[in-house]
Amino acid sequence: MPSILAVGSVAYDSVKTPFGEAEEVLGGSATFFSVVASFFSRVNLVACVGEDFRREDVEFLESRNVDLTGLEYMKGRTFRWKGEYSYDLNEAHTLETELNVLSNFRPKIPKKYRDSEYVFLGNIDPTLQREVLSQVLNPRLVACDTMNYWIEGRFQSLIKTLKHVGILIINDAEARQLANEVNMVRAARKILGWGPRILVIKRGEYGVLMFQVPGEQSLDHGSSLVVPVSGGDLTIFGAPAYPLEDVFDPTGAGDSFAGGFMGYLAGVNRVDTQAIRQATIFGSVMASFCVEKFSLDRLRELTYTEIELRYKEFREMTRFEDIEELDKVLSS
């Protein structure tokens, strides 16, 4: 089985939602990503923690078959994030960020990770993302996340990183900001002109929209090709989110999406269009589970049967029949 190299943050989160609160629970983008992806594939984690990182959290990650050779223990405290959600649960309000060990983090890729075929560059400084890539031999697929902070403060560096990325996975606000364009199709066209051949837009409760450079049936040609798409037609895929009656804590939903998405592709070792569409659904499935409980709690108890069932529900939920020619079906 191929493995995924994942770089990003490991954190202790304190989260308050209208349904309760959790203090100093395991979190961080790389944590959610790795635990979710581990359902489908082996994961090689590259991240840093402080001296206070709890033994039980190490054991949990190990129990999920996440390789921790690349988890660096640094002097100081683990990264902390404190946030709050109001009733609509769509946006996190950050109350406090303590970078701690993260502020001096320079990802070092262990030798045994260097031939990872699948690489996920979590939401870190785009310069560090490129440093990671430079230490990987010949990845089959590179996917990448980013956020408003880097779009505003490191735009040129981010554009450089995008040249080497096959799939960019961001939310709709980030896509609009990155392209400086309100219309999503125009934004996608612009972003795909910078390197990625697929742009996956996460839209929270509204689901996901995927734009693909026209004519490409597979990403299987290395990941550094820049394809100009201005004027060409994009291939688009869209799916709704799984409608949930109880959303307890949206923290980690986006990272869980990426984990399900990349995990599935690495798990089946395919990067063709059909597999990528299925991966989008697995991403949505895993994100929908993630938010059902605080922190990683729902993922701790999740089974393959539940994952398969929800995938099938997505099929049912989006299925509609083709039509004959209209003039033949309309009564006269």
The DSSP result for 127-183, as a single string, is HHHHHHHHTSS--SEEEE---HHHHHH-HHHHHHHHTT-SEEEEEHHHHHHHHT-SS
Site membership for a second copy, residue 239 (CB under 8 A) = yes
DSSP 262: H
Residue among 186, 217, 218, 224 that touches a second copy (CB under 8 A): 186
Residue among 2, 76, 110, 214 that touches a second copy (CB under 8 A): 2
Q: Tell me how far apart the alpha carbons of residues 270 and 57 are, in angstroms, rounded to a whole number.
A: 31
Backbone angles phi and psi of 63, in degrees to 5: -65, -20
Site membership for a second copy, residue 230 (CB under 8 A) = no
Q: Tell me how far apart the alpha carbons of residues 320 and 215 are, in angstroms, rounded to a whole number.
A: 25
Interface segment toward a second copy; rule CB under 8 A; list 62-70, 83-91, 95-103, 292-300: 83-91
Site membership for a second copy, residue 280 (CB under 8 A) = yes
DSSP 125: -
- By CB under 8 A, what part of segment 191-220 binds a second copy? 203, 205-207, 209
Nearest to a second copy of 69, 274 (CB atom): 274
Contact 288, 244 (CB under 8 A): yes
Going by C-beta distance under 8 Å and a sequence separation of 6 or more, which residues neighbour residue 219? 140, 141, 166, 167, 197, 198, 271, 272, 276
Site membership for a second copy, residue 182 (CB under 8 A) = yes
Nearest to a second copy of 157, 235 (CB atom): 235
Q: Tell me how far apart the alpha carbons of residues 50 and 77 are, in angstroms, rounded to a whole number.
A: 4
- Residue ranges in 193-318 assigned as alpha helix (H): 253-268, 273-290, 297-300, 304-318
Site membership for a second copy, residue 232 (CB under 8 A) = no
Site membership for a second copy, residue 240 (CB under 8 A) = yes
Site membership for a second copy, residue 118 (CB under 8 A) = no
Residue among 54, 108, 112, 277 that touches a second copy (CB under 8 A): 277
C-alpha pair distances (Å), 64 with each of 161, 174, 257: 30, 31, 17
Nearest to a second copy of 47, 210 (CB atom): 210
Site string for a second copy, 26-65 (x = CB under 8 A): --------------xx------------------------
Q: Given the rule CB under 8 A, which residues bind a second copy?
A: 1-2, 40-41, 87-89, 182-186, 189, 203, 205-207, 209, 236-241, 243-247, 267-269, 274, 277-278, 280-281, 304, 307-308, 311-312, 315, 317-323, 325-327, 329-332
